[in-house]
Structure 1
Amino acid sequence: MIEAVGLTKRYGERTAVDQLSFTVRPGQVTGFLGPNGAGKSTTMRMILGLDTPTGGRVTIDGKPFRQLDNPMREVGALLDAKAIHGGRSAHHHLLCLAQTNNLPKRRVDEVLDLVGLAEVARKRAKGFSLGMGQRLGIAAALLGDPKILMFDEPVNGLDPEGILWIRNLMKSLAAEGRTVFVSSHLMSEMENTADHLLVIGRGRMIADCTVQEFIDQNSELAVRVRTPDPTRMAELVTGAGGRAVTDGEGALLVSELTMDRIGDLAFDNGVRLHELSLLQASLEQAFMELTRDTVEYHAAVPGGREVSS
C-alpha cells in the first residue's frame, strides 16, 4: 500500500505538489490522472525517494522508500523506459539489475519471456523501437516480483496488441492482490483498466473515487431521442422542465429528465419514437470537464479554438 499525507513539493516559489493526501490500495488498479504540469511525475518521484518532499510524507507499507530493505522486491517502477545504456543487450541490462539487487538469475529469462522480448534478449537496446523499450522497462519493474507496481505512461509506443497485453497484465497483477499505480494520458485505457482514480490539477487533489463515480459526478447524462416530430417532442420536454437540443443528426439530446419520463411524455401525447437511448459520458469527457480550469498549457488551432494539455 502507498500512503501520502500532506505531500508537498516546492521548487523555489513554484509549488509542484500541494498537500496531497491519498492511499493506493492493493487488489486494484489505481489510475493517476491530471493535465501536463499537474504534478504527477513529481509525486511518483517522491514515492520512490528520487525527490525529497518539502512537506508531508509518503510511505510504502508504512516505510519511506529509502528505508526499504529490498526495494526491488517490494516496489517495481517504470518511470522512463529510455533510462538504459544503449550498448547493453536486454538480457545484460536485466542481469545487472538482478545481480546488484540480489535477485535470482532465472528471473531475467522469466520476465523477458513474460514481456515478449525473449527472441531479442541478446540484441543491444539502442536498436529497440519505442514499444520494445517500454516492454524492457516493464520487465525491469517486474524483475523483483514486487507486490507494488508503479507505471508512468506504460502504453507509450505500444501497438494495439501491446496495449491489450499491458492492460491485461495490470489487471492480473491487481487480481493477485498487488498494488498497481499507473499514470496515463490515455483516458480510454484508464476507463478500460483502472478501478480507482486519483486526479490532480496544479498539484492539488481534485478527485479520489472509482471510475464510475468520477464519470457520474463530472458529466451530465443525456437521452438520445429520435422521432418523426422532433419539434413537438422538444416542446413536451421543455414543458416538463427538461432541456432538448438537436445533435446535428436529426435526433434530440434530452437532459434533466429520466428516460422513463421522456417515454411517458411521448406515449401520453401520441408522439411516435424511433429511438430512446441513454448516453453515458466517457471518462475523457468527464476528465476534460473537471480539469479544464487547471490546465497549464493551451494551444491555438485553426478556427480560433483552443486545445488543452
Structure 2
Amino acid sequence: MIELAGLTKRYGLKTAVRELTCVIRPGQVTGFLGPNGAGKSTTMRMILGLDHPTAGRALVEGRPYARLTEPLTVVGALLEARAVHPGRTAFHHLLCLAQSNGIPRRRVGQVLDLVGLGEVAAKRPKGFSLGMGQRLGIASALLGDPRILIFDEPVNGLDPEGIHWVRNLIRRLAAEGRTVFVSSHLMSEMALTADHLIVIGQGQLLADTSMAGFIEENARSYTRVSSPDRERLMDALNSVGLVATPATGPGADGALDLEGDQTVAVGELAAERRLVLHELCHHRASLEEAFMRLTRQSVEYQAGDDAEGRRGAANRQGWGG
C-alpha cells in the first residue's frame, strides 16, 4: 500500500504538488491521471525518495522509501526506461541491480524471458529500440518480485502486441494482491486497465474514485433516437415531457438526443404511437471525455484556433486587457 498525506512540493514560487492526500491500495490497478504539468511525475519521484517533499509524507508499506533496506523487493518502478549504463549488457544491467538488493542471479534470466528480451540479454541497451528499452525497464521493476509496482507511461513505444502484453501483466499483478500504480496519457488504454482513478490538476487532488464512478460523475450520458418521421417523433416526445434536441457531430443525420438513459421510455412510446425507429441507443461518454471535462480548468497550456481561444490565452498570460 502507498499512503500520501498532505504531500507538497514547491520549487521556489511554484507549487508542483499541493497537499495531496490519498491511498493506493493493493489488489487493484490504480490509474494516475492529470494534464501535463499536473505534478504526476513529481509525486512518483517523492514516493520513491528521488525528490524530498516540502511538506507532508509519502509512505510505502508504512515507511518512507529511504528506510527500506532492500527496496527492489518492496517497490518496483519504471520511471525512465532509458536510465541504463550504456556500456553494460541488458543482463549485466539487471545483475548489478540484483546484487545491490540481495536478489539471486537466476532471477535476472527469469525477468528477461518474461519481458521477451531473453534472446538479446547479451546486447547493450544503447542499441535497443524504444519498445525494447521499455521492456528492459519493466524487467527492472519486476526484478525483486515486489509487492508494489509503479509504472510511468509503461506502454510508451510498444507495438499493439506489446501494449496487450503490458495490459495483461498489470492486471495479473493486481490480481495477485499487489499494489499497482500506473500513470498514462493513453485514455483508451487506461479505461481497459484501471479499476480506480486518482486525478490531479495543478498539483491538487481532483478525484479519487472508481473508474465507473469517475465516468458517471464527470461525463455526459444521453440517448440518441432517429426516425424517418422525425417531426412526429418530436411531437410524441414533447407530448410526454421528454425534451429532445437535434443531435450534432459526425453521424448525427437528423437524429435527436435526450439527456440520460431514456431508451425504455422512448421505445415504449414509439411502440404505442406506431413510430418506426432507425436508431435507439444509450451513449455513455468515454474516459477521455470525462477526463477533459474535469480537468479543463487545470490545463497548463491550452491551444486555441479561434479568436476567443486566442483572447483567453492572452488574458491568462497577462497580454490582453
With the length of structure 2 as denominator, give the TM-score of the two structures: 0.91
Instruction: Sort the Cα spacing of 1:237 and 1:13 in 2 relative to 1 into closer, same or farther, 3 A.
Output: farther
* Counterpart residue number, 2:223: 223
Of residues 264, 268, 274, the one that matches 1:270 is: 274
Superposed displacement of residue 237, structure 1: 3.3
Of residues 289, 295, 302, the one that matches 2:299 is: 295
Gaps of 5+ in 2: 314-321
Partner amino acid, structure 2, of 1:212: A
Q: Deviations over 1:99-137 (max 9, x none)?
A: 122110001000000000001111111110000000000
Indicate if the aligned counterparts of 2:261 and 2:282 stay in contact, CA closer than 8 A: no
Instruction: Sort the Cα spacing of 1:18 and 1:271 in 2 relative to 1 into closer, same or farther, 3 A.
Output: same
Residue aligned with 2:141, SS: helix
Indicate if the aligned counterparts of 1:244 and 1:255 stay in contact, CA closer than 8 A: no
Residue aligned with 1:134, SS: helix
Of residues 257, 263, 286, the one that matches 1:259 is: 263
**Which 10-residue stretch deviates more, 220-229 or 154-163?**
220-229
Superposed displacement of residue 226, structure 1: 2.1
2: CA distance, partners of 1:211 / 1:252: 28
Partner amino acid, structure 1, of 2:180: V
Instruction: Sort the Cα spacing of 1:82 and 1:238 in 2 relative to 1 into closer, same or farther, 3 A.
Output: farther
The percentage of aligned residue pairs carrying the same residue is 60
Indicate if the aligned counterparts of 2:223 and 2:260 stay in contact, CA closer than 8 A: no
* Counterpart residue number, 1:174: 174
Indicate if the aligned counterparts of 1:242 and 1:256 stay in contact, CA closer than 8 A: no
Indicate if the aligned counterparts of 1:234 and 1:244 stay in contact, CA closer than 8 A: no
Q: CA RMSD in A?
A: 1.8
2: CA distance, partners of 1:6 / 1:198: 15
2: CA distance, partners of 1:304 / 1:293: 16
2: CA distance, partners of 1:54 / 1:137: 29
Are positions 1:250 and 2:292 aligned together? no
With the length of structure 1 as denominator, give the TM-score of the two structures: 0.95
Superposed displacement of residue 229, structure 1: 1.6
* Counterpart residue number, 2:285: 281
2: CA distance, partners of 1:145 / 1:76: 8
Indicate if the aligned counterparts of 1:243 and 1:256 stay in contact, CA closer than 8 A: no
Instruction: Sort the Cα spacing of 1:301 and 1:155 in 2 relative to 1 into closer, same or farther, 3 A.
Output: farther
* Counterpart residue number, 1:136: 136
* Counterpart residue number, 1:123: 123
Residue aligned with 2:181, SS: strand
Residue aligned with 2:303, SS: strand
Partner amino acid, structure 2, of 1:75: V
Partner amino acid, structure 2, of 1:254: L
Superposed displacement of residue 69, structure 1: 1.9
Superposed displacement of residue 92, structure 1: 1.1
Give aligned pairs, total: 307
Q: Deviations over 1:204-256 (max 9, x none)?
A: 11111111111111111111212112233234434514232224333222224
**Which 10-residue stretch deviates more, 297-306 or 204-213?**
297-306
Residue aligned with 1:285, SS: helix
